[in-house]
Structure 1
């Protein structure tokens, strides 16, 4: 029983810490921009449920920490409906109530009566804060650790695999994939994973000679300590750079920020590509993950990082580094999901504001209600699908490593 509780805490605690931190930053993005525009804010909460500790600042905003650490929220004054985008009648009613309670002109401090561009910036500030957080975390990691480049040199070709049939040989150095120059093993792996059943063109350097090869990745079931059982596209290569192949360089703050920006762009591009392949029927969605998968990954990363060294100090440092990188990736994901044009998300609000800017009136209440219900159904369906994936494979991460 004690062992079970220990394992549960190992997975749950890192997940809650990472999730609460990221969501708090997301909500802080909304809060700071709203405060800059003079919006009246009732509450900023870290966690949900009953208040553990709280205080009210000079602006009348209640700051509190609640007992359920599953994120947080910011509540603007006048937020009555679930969509936070009242229609024309709702705005008129809210205006009358505010004027009756606080006098003429008080409505100008309320979110819903701010200009559209200000409301749009406040809404977009949440996802923007997530991307900024990822940028800061990754920049700090690159500054602290530098950049270690592991070139894609072929160390092993699996007999009978697509790579073997294509003519790959041990010692080949992969230079381009589908015309794109690659510098690291992970670059090759990422392209292969997103190309199941599609021919992939390679250019390799074989003892000074340029050789062109074509291999078609096939899905195979893999079991990983963190990923669990997943289907991943492979061609049957293992990258094993020689000691002389590795390159390391320190990065100044500008170089680190550039590298971090590049990494964020790569993650977003891969995400959009993968989702596009799902809608095109080329992927099963097996790599989509929900809360269970993220919790499993957080715990697995913590466990493996701690076991990497017998020195307690080095183990703690390793855990911190890997959780920071993990938090950056999750923050990118949360920022991206919130920008989807689904009414219950920030992207849906931006969609409504776009309509309002063109039509010069808010979206009708009936349309908002339908959109809200459809949005909830879409999110619920996506969550159920992702949770089903989590339960099936019992994990999350597919480490790129040197596999292709």
Structure 2
């Protein structure tokens, strides 16, 4: 069925973000409930309540107007960002301390906070493990031919650096490669850098310093990304799929997720060093665009994108920024080291600064997203 792309955008974004936010907040809620901490509100979205109900435990479950996140507000929180109410904590009576998040033990508070990102990580691992279990592990049909240089592109930094047709690639930047995908992954994230490529030639290994060319790649939807290329073509690129058991599939899912996080960290580092443009940062508009595009390509592409965004949500939430889960965990780590909490007033100021920083980042990436749309971009 050929539907207009805008319809996929409208459907894809809430279909992506709604469940991911819900499972993230459910992680907080369920672990909090397990430890006897009372949740006053559970919201999907921010802002004005559109619909909701109050359960028999006194928790208000609601759907809010701005679908860009969600929250669980526990007893003792000043607001949905879990900023502690210093005065209320100090004045709390015995009854008010019962079920209060900020009066729970340090270990319980840390587990409640970590449960949200952990749930997103579990969702990612479950999706990737399911793919490996159902479809198998991709392995090179002929690893020897995949690593043997068959020809060079018209403009080839690899050829200019001294590599020859028939050379078999052994490692890149010290990392052994098993197939052509490994070669691509090792090169494409480093446009503009010089990488050491080790090849086997006439029974000996030789290493060449190869400058990686920077190229702009445009996909079928018009999305532009900068990738690294060295201008080589392998003798073969076919892959086969080896069946995997459940345990092996989980292990492969963990390895695959670690690889994605490593690429994320590399990309963020390159933005800070100026190797990549800040235009490559994505916010809610870009996520909505990508979610619609992936949905238009079919269920498997969309589910894979869900796994990627779920891992991104976990990563972002674990950053040590006050008001994010990672900021709370940083305060708890300081409390564990100091053997006493960071001052409530200091926490409150830090959390407010953290909220301001997150809001500024949200505004920046949203403007950045809009500027990159065809109707606004150059």
* Residue 111 (structure 1) aligned with residue 101 (structure 2): yes
Where 1:109 maps in the other structure, the secondary structure is: coil
* Residue 131 (structure 1) aligned with residue 121 (structure 2): yes
Task: Extract unaligned runs of 5+ from structure 2.
Answer: none
Go from structure 1 to structure 2 and tell me whether the alpha carbon gap of 1:199 and 1:184 turns closer, same or farther (over 3 Å shift): same
CA distance in 2, matches of 1:237, 1:301: 29
Written as runs of structure 1 = structure 2, the 5 A alignment for 1:88-237 is 88-93=86-91, 95-96=92-93, 104-150=94-140, 152-153=146-147, 154=149, 157-169=152-164, 172-205=167-200, 210-226=205-221, 228-237=223-232
Check conservation: 1:225, 1:300, Cα contact below 8 A. no
CA distance in 2, matches of 1:356, 1:257: 34
Check conservation: 2:83, 2:351, Cα contact below 8 A. no
Written as runs of structure 1 = structure 2, the 5 A alignment for 1:190-339 is 190-205=185-200, 210-226=205-221, 228-238=223-233, 241-243=236-238, 246-303=239-296, 305=297, 319-339=298-318
* Residue 52 (structure 1) aligned with residue 51 (structure 2): yes
Where 2:280 maps in the other structure, the secondary structure is: coil
Instruction: Find the counterpart in structure 2 of residue 309 from structure 1.
Output: none
CA shift, 1:113, in A, is: 0.6
Go from structure 1 to structure 2 and tell me whether the alpha carbon gap of 1:207 and 1:259 turns closer, same or farther (over 3 Å shift): farther
Go from structure 1 to structure 2 and tell me whether the alpha carbon gap of 1:328 and 1:207 turns closer, same or farther (over 3 Å shift): farther
CA distance in 2, matches of 1:51, 1:12: 19
Instruction: Find the counterpart in structure 2 of residue 61 from structure 1.
Output: 59
Provide Cα deviations, 1:341-378, integer angstroms capped at 9, x if missing partner.
11121111112223333445543354334423432343
Where 2:82 maps in the other structure, the secondary structure is: coil
Check conservation: 1:229, 1:394, Cα contact below 8 A. no
Check conservation: 2:319, 2:327, Cα contact below 8 A. yes
Where 2:73 maps in the other structure, the secondary structure is: strand
Check conservation: 1:40, 1:76, Cα contact below 8 A. yes
CA shift, 1:108, in A, is: 2.5
CA distance in 2, matches of 1:64, 1:289: 28
CA shift, 1:392, in A, is: 5.0
Check conservation: 1:157, 1:164, Cα contact below 8 A. yes
CA distance in 2, matches of 1:65, 1:82: 14
TM-score (norm 2): 0.85
Go from structure 1 to structure 2 and tell me whether the alpha carbon gap of 1:363 and 1:18 turns closer, same or farther (over 3 Å shift): same
Instruction: Find the counterpart in structure 2 of residue 343 from structure 1.
Output: 322
CA distance in 2, matches of 1:230, 1:394: 14
CA shift, 1:60, in A, is: 2.9
Provide Cα deviations, 1:46-88, integer angstroms capped at 9, x if missing partner.
34543435451x4333334456544432221232246524265
Instruction: Find the counterpart in structure 2 of residue 383 from structure 1.
Output: 362
Instruction: Find the counterpart in structure 2 of residue 86 from structure 1.
Output: 84
Go from structure 1 to structure 2 and tell me whether the alpha carbon gap of 1:40 and 1:366 turns closer, same or farther (over 3 Å shift): closer
* Residue 75 (structure 1) aligned with residue 110 (structure 2): no
CA shift, 1:220, in A, is: 2.3
Provide Cα deviations, 1:128-161, integer angstroms capped at 9, x if missing partner.
1111111111111111111223454456522233
Go from structure 1 to structure 2 and tell me whether the alpha carbon gap of 1:64 and 1:238 turns closer, same or farther (over 3 Å shift): farther
Task: Extract unaligned runs of 5+ from structure 1.
Answer: 97-103, 306-318, 396-404
Q: How many residues align?
A: 367
CA distance in 2, matches of 1:356, 1:337: 22
What is the Cα-based RMSD across aligned positions, in Å? Answer: 2.9
Check conservation: 2:39, 2:74, Cα contact below 8 A. yes
CA distance in 2, matches of 1:61, 1:373: 25
